[in-house]
């Protein structure tokens, strides 16, 4: 029988982590979530530590935090940007060491190192069930922030996963957007090739781009027909290998590769080259979150860009859009800071501020799903939202990041001929079963 | 009288210290080292030992964990990914060891004496060593791109059939990493051998030449035995560096294509920090540590044994 330890074994865990991480850690915190303080503005001056992911530009939440401080001079922020690849590790270390920020960025679900639910389970987050946060979820997306019947995080924007195009270049080539079927896409691949360009840019050496591309193809082949596919997979009713839509999605990637839809040497492509290539017009488009359009505009502001959804074989319409960017409050912070944090979250959820944040991030306002007016870049997918043909990104509900990694590396193996579709899907099933225990 | 009076004085000087004196001298000789020794034991050995225990758990970096015995090690040695990472690590380590030592020694011999521009050339060849491995790898990644300089060059000299997607080719990708590693560290090995060659008397080589020894015989029987200490240092350093390879793999291929270039170090990083499998990552670290210790000890035993023999 395995010996059970709990997280109160501060010294042992911290010392082990120090070795494993190569970092010096403090002891484990045994923070227990308490009833949230009221969301009214705190009475005295408060400085909140705000942890965000570092990027090429200032984090959208940090921009809004500055605005909040102007409106509420008693509340100031110490913003702590942490690089994406280290974010989860740093946050977990800080939480265990008892020196985590008061307000911090997390992603929904449990598929990432900085996913919210494992932190909620470990008792590090403030319960937000009695705040406005609960109103920002739909029934479909509630699982991203819910654990043990309570809401632990507040989403702050809405991230559509889209097929982005340089509209200016597409028009020059005579390519009509949006595509209505896969045949349209394949025809356009030929047109782009003849012009010495590629229709799509694929960073085939990177897991996230391969994974996101496959998921977009799977949106209409798996999830539009069966929105509860993840639930069924969790119960063991279905598998990747025995789901026709997953096989078709991977086969389509291989077909597109063979027909020259992606750039030459796509299997070695890197994400950093995608935006420059699309902005420069050597590739017409690529797969990424809608926020990529903001980057494209910064690189080449003279061109027009649009976000579309990849079509189904017969024109089916379905895409992934998730309130996956979230904020959480540290359960170990003192009451005054928790109170100030709650007030900030309440302010951020107001439609005016939610829209302002979306404008900075390039994603959609957290209110978009409720029928808010969409920016021009989303003109071709506005009906997806009004018709509710969307759901949270598939992998956010997967029990481990390793499954997504298996998909991403598997796609590269398909492009290089090192593996086959069935093997990739079976490997994903194995990773799922292992993670689910 | 003078002699008899001198004798006790000499005896007094040579007389062994009394027991308390011996103890205090012995104590004074090592107790100063206690603080450093304690810190060293705590930081290096205790921390590693405690960290090593996590290799036997399923800890995910947060919250509770369970002891799972040798499950993590079984997963490493039974799975394709774990076995592949071990084999790739060994391939890169020994390829790096051989490549750097062969090219470093040849360059050292070539630039030891005679060449007019040898000081300038030594600096040029050593220069890549001082650069960041990541920076070097990103430059090489550009060279290896499908439309990059390497394929362009091959096309320009009529070798189109040799063109390929170097970093995503299942066969060539691991060689591209090895080339970058060897290219960057050859200068360091050359300097180590140059230091050894500086101690080889020119007269010995000349005497051997007069006795009729050819270039290879002079190297084999005169020069190499004298620079063997340099060989021991260079080979040990390169082997350990090769076993730890990380930066070049992450920057060039990220472990791809389809895990074809994964090493133990890249797997430690991915499993621990990307997937939150701290227990499995700790087990991989332990395997890597044991591998480095065992191979280094064997290698040092072999080379130092030959040194004694020579």
CB contact under 8 A, A3 and B258: no
From chain A, the residues in CB contact with B272 under 8 A are: 20-21
Per the CB < 8 A criterion, the answer to whether B223 and B213 are in contact is no
The CATH number given to whatever domain includes residue B301 is 1.10.3720.10
Q: Are residues A110 and A230 in the same domain?
A: no
Does one domain contain both A298 and A420? yes
Give the tokens for residue A415: 């492009």
Residues counted in chain A = 437
A56 touches B at CB < 8 Å: no
User: How far apart, in Å, are the Cα atoms of A54 and each of A84, B8, B77, B135?
Assistant: 6, 81, 37, 21
Residue A69 domain-assigned? yes
- Of chain A residues 152-211, which have a CB less than 8 A from chain B? 204-206
- Range B294-307 average pLDDT: 78
Whether residue A51 is found in the same domain as residue A87: yes
User: What pLDDT score was predicted for residue A18?
Assistant: 42
Query: Would the pLDDT of B24 be above 70?
Result: no
Residue corresponding to tokens 């699982």: A143
What's the whole-number mean pLDDT along residues B153-175? Answer: 94
Put simply, the answer to whether A113 touches B61 (Cβ < 8 Å) is yes
Residue A50 and residue A191 share a domain: no
- Domain contains B288: yes
- Kindly determine whether residue A3 and residue B50, on different chains, have CB atoms separated by under 8 Å: no
**A416 vs B170: CB contact, 8 Å cut-off?**
yes
pLDDT at position B231 is 93
Residue B239 sits in the same domain as residue B123 = yes
Residue B2 forms part of a structural domain:
no
Q: What is the CATH number of the domain that holds A432?
A: 3.40.190.10
In a domain, A211, yes or no: yes
Q: What is the DSSP letter of A83?
A: E
Check if B166 contacts A (Cβ < 8 Å): yes
* Whether residues B49 and B89 fall in one domain: no
- What does pLDDT average to over chain B? 88
* Residue B84 in domain: yes
Kindly identify which residue of chain A lies nearest to residue B62, measuring between CA atoms: A92
Which residues are registered as beta bridge partners of A80?
Answer: A51
Evaluate whether A135 touches A126 at the Cβ level (below 8 Å). no
Q: Report the C-alpha gap between A280 and A145 in whole angstroms.
A: 39
Which chain B residues touch A119 with a CB distance below 8 Å? 62
Q: Name every chain A residue with its beta carbon within 8 A of the beta carbon of B253.
A: 205
Q: Which residues contact B118 (CB under 8 A, 6 or more apart)?
A: B111, B112
Q: Which of B8, B41, B56 is the last residue of a domain?
A: B56
Model confidence pLDDT, tens digit, residues A317-338:
999 998 989 999 999 999 999 9
Residue A378 resides in a domain: no
- Percent of chain B whose pLDDT exceeds 90: 66
d(CA A175, CA A192): 9
Task: Show the tokens assigned to B244.
Answer: 């730890």
Residue from the list A85, A113, A265 with its beta carbon closest to the beta carbon of B168: A265
Residue A367 lies in a domain: yes
pLDDT at site A203:
93
Q: A342 with A405, same domain?
A: no
Whether A352 has a pLDDT exceeding 70, the answer reads yes
pLDDT of residue A374: 79
Q: What is the pLDDT of residue A208?
A: 85
What does the pLDDT look like over A87-126, one tens digit per residue?
887 898 888 888 999 999 999 988 777 889 989 988 999 9
Q: Is pLDDT at A214 greater than 70 in this prediction?
A: yes
Model pLDDT for residues A361-373, shown as the tens digit of each residue: 878 888 765 456 7
The pLDDT assigned to A115 comes to 87
Residue that terminates a domain, selected from B56, B87, B107: B56
A281/A409 same-domain check: yes
What range does the domain containing A193 cover? 160-321+386-436
Q: Within the 309-338 window of chain A, which residues sit less than 8 Å (CB to CB) from chain B? A: none
**Inter-helix orientation angle B172-197/B80-110, to 10°:** 40
User: Packing angle between helix B149-156 and helix B133-144, nearest 10 degrees?
Assistant: 40
Q: Across the beta sheet with A154-155, what order do the strands follow?
A: A75-83, A46-54, A103-107, A325-329, A154-155
CA–CA separation, A384 and A307 (whole Å) = 12
Kindly tell me if the per-residue pLDDT of A33 is higher than 90.
no
Tell whether B152 is covered by a domain: yes
Statement: residue A34 has pLDDT above 50: no
Q: Does residue B92 sit in the same domain as residue B48?
A: no
Residue A46 resides in a domain: yes
Residue B9 is assigned to a structural domain of this protein: no
Q: Is residue B68 part of a domain?
A: no
Between A285 and A140, the more confident residue is: A285
Quick one: B45 and B159 in the same domain?
A: no
pLDDT on residue A24: 31
Q: What is the total count of domains within chain B?
A: 2
B233 vs A30 pLDDT, higher one? B233
Residue B36 and residue B109 in one domain: no
* Contacts with A363 (C-beta within 8 Å, 6 or more apart), sequence order: A157, A158, A159, A160, A289, A290, A291, A325
Residues of A in contact with B282 (CB under 8 A): 16, 19-20
A145 and A110 both lie in a single domain:
yes
- Residue B133 counted as domain residue: yes
Residues A136 and A52 placed together within one structural domain of the fold = yes
B44 lies in the same domain as B96: no
Residue A17 pLDDT greater than 90, yes or no? no
C-alpha distance from B77 to closest chain A C-alpha (Å)? 17
Instruction: Say whether both B45 and B187 belong to one domain.
Output: no
Choose the most confident range, by mean pLDDT, from A258-272, A313-327, B91-105. B91-105
Counted domains in chain A = 2
Asked whether residue A4 is domain-assigned, the answer is: no
Same domain, B46 and B113: no
Distance of CA B122 to the CA centre of its chain: 21
Same domain? A184 vs A266: yes
The verdict on B50 and B130 lying in the same domain is no
Q: B273 — contact with chain A (CB < 8 Å)?
A: yes
Residue B202's nearest CA partner among B135, B114, B116, B269 is: B114
Q: In b/e form, how buried is each residue of A200-211, taking b as 16+ CB within 10 angstroms? A: bbbbbbbbebbb
Same domain, yes or no: A154 and A164: no
- Domain of residue B38: give its range: 16-56
Q: Is the minimum CB–CB distance between A399 and chain B shorter than 8 Å?
A: no
Same domain, B41 and B156: no
Do residue B296 and residue B164 come from a single domain? yes
Six token digits for residue A269: 């492509």
Is residue A7 a part of any domain in this protein?
no
Indicate if A302 and A197 belong to the same structural domain. Answer: yes
Residue at A10 is within a domain = no
Question: Would an 8 Å CB–CB cutoff place B253 in contact with chain A?
Answer: yes
A415 and A292 belong to one structural domain: yes
Is residue B70 one of the residues assigned to a domain? no
The helix or strand, by DSSP H or E, that contains position A79, with its residue range, turns out to be strand A75-83
Residue carrying the six token digits 């104590």: B27
Asked if B31 and B103 sit in the same domain, the reply is no
Per the CB < 8 A criterion, the answer to whether A113 and A401 are in contact is: yes
Chain B: closest CA distance from residue A297 (Å): 25
> Given B62, B168, B277, which is nearest A204 (Cβ)?
B168
């Amino acid at each position: 029988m395995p010996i059970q330890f709990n997280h109160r074994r501060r010294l042992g865990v911290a010392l082990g982590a120090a070795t494993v991480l190569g970092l010096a850690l403090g002891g484990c915190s045994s923070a227990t979530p308490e009833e949230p303080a009221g969301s009214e503005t705190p009475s005295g001056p408060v400085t909140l530590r705000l942890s965000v992911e570092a990027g090429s530009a200032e984090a959208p939440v940090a921009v809004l935090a500055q605005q909040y401080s102007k409106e509420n001079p008693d509340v100031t922020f110490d913003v702590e940007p942490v690089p994406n690849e280290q974010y989860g590790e740093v946050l977990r270390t800080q939480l265990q060491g008892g020196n985590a920020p008061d307000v911090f960025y997390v992603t929904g679900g449990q598929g990432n190192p900085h996913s919210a639910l494992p932190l909620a389970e470990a008792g590090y987050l403030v319960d937000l069930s009695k705040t406005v946060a609960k109103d920002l979820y739909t029934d479909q997306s509630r699982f991203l922030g819910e654990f043990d019947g309570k809401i632990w995080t507040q989403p702050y924007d809405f991230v559509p996963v889209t097929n982005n195009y340089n509209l200016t270049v597409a028009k020059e080539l005579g390519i009509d957007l949006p595509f209505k079927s896969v045949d349209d896409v394949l025809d356009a691949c030929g047109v782009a090739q003849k012009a010495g360009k590629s229709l799509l840019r694929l960073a085939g050496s990177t897991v996230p781009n391969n994974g996101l591309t496959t998921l977009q193809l799977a949106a209409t082949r798996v999830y539009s027909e069966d929105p509860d596919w993840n639930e069924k997979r969790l119960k063991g009713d279905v598998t990747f290998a025995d789901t026709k839509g997953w096989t078709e999605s991977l086969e389509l990637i291989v077909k597109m590769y063979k027909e020259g839809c992606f750039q030459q040497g796509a299997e070695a492509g890197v994400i950093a080259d995608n935006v420059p290539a699309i902005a420069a017009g050597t590739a017409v488009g690529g797969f990424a979150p809608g926020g990529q359009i903001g980057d494209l505009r910064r690189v080449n502001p003279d061109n027009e860009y649009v976000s579309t959804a990849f079509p189904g074989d017969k024109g089916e319409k379905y895409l992934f859009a998730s309130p996956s960017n979230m904020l959480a409050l540290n359960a170990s912070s003192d009451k005054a800071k928790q109170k100030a944090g709650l007030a900030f979250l309440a302010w951020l959820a107001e439609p005016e501020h939610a829209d302002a944040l979306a404008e900075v991030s390039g994603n959609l306002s957290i209110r978009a799903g409720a029928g808010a007016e969409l920016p021009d870049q989303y003109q071709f997918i506005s009906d997806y939202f009004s018709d509710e043909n969307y759901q949270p990104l598939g992998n956010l509900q997967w029990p481990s990041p390793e499954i997504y990694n298996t998909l991403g590396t598997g796609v590269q193996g398909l492009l290089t001929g090192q593996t086959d579709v069935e093997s990739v899907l079976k490997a994903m099933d194995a990773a799922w079963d292992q993670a689910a225990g | 009288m003078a002699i008899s009076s001198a004798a006790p004085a000499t005896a007094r000087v040579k007389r062994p210290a009394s027991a308390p004196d011996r103890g205090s001298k012995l104590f004074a000789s090592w107790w100063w080292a206690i603080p450093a020794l304690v810190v060293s034991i705590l930081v290096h050995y205790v921390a590693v030992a405690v960290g090593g225990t996590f290799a036997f758990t399923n800890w995910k970096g947060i919250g509770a964990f369970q002891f799972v015995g040798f499950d993590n090690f079984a997963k490493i040695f039974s799975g394709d990914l774990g076995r592949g990472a071990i084999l790739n690590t060994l391939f890169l380590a020994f390829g790096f060891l051989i490549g750097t030592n062969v090219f470093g020694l040849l360059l050292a011999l070539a630039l030891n004496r005679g060449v007019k521009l040898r000081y300038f050339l030594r600096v040029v060849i050593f220069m890549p060593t001082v650069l960041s491995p990541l920076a070097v790898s990103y430059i090489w990644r550009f060279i290896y791109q499908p439309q990059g300089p390497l394929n362009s060059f091959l096309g320009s000299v009529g070798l189109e059939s040799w063109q390929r997607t170097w970093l995503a080719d299942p066969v060539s990708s691991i060689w591209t990493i090895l080339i970058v590693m060897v290219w960057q560290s050859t200068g360091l090995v050359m300097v180590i051998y140059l230091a050894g060659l500086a101690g080889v008397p020119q007269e010995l080589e000349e005497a051997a030449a007069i006795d009729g020894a050819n270039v290879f015989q002079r190297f084999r029987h005169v020069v190499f035995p004298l620079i063997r200490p340099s060989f021991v240092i260079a080979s040990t350093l390169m082997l350990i560096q090769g076993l730890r390879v990380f930066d070049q793999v992450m920057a060039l291929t990220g472990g791809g294509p389809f895990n074809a270039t994964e090493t133990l170090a890249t797997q430690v990083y991915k499993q621990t920090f990307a997937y939150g499998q701290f227990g499995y990552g700790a087990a991989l670290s332990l395997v890597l540590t044991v591998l480095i210790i065992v191979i280094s000890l064997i290698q040092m035993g072999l080379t130092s044994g030959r040194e004694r023999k020579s």
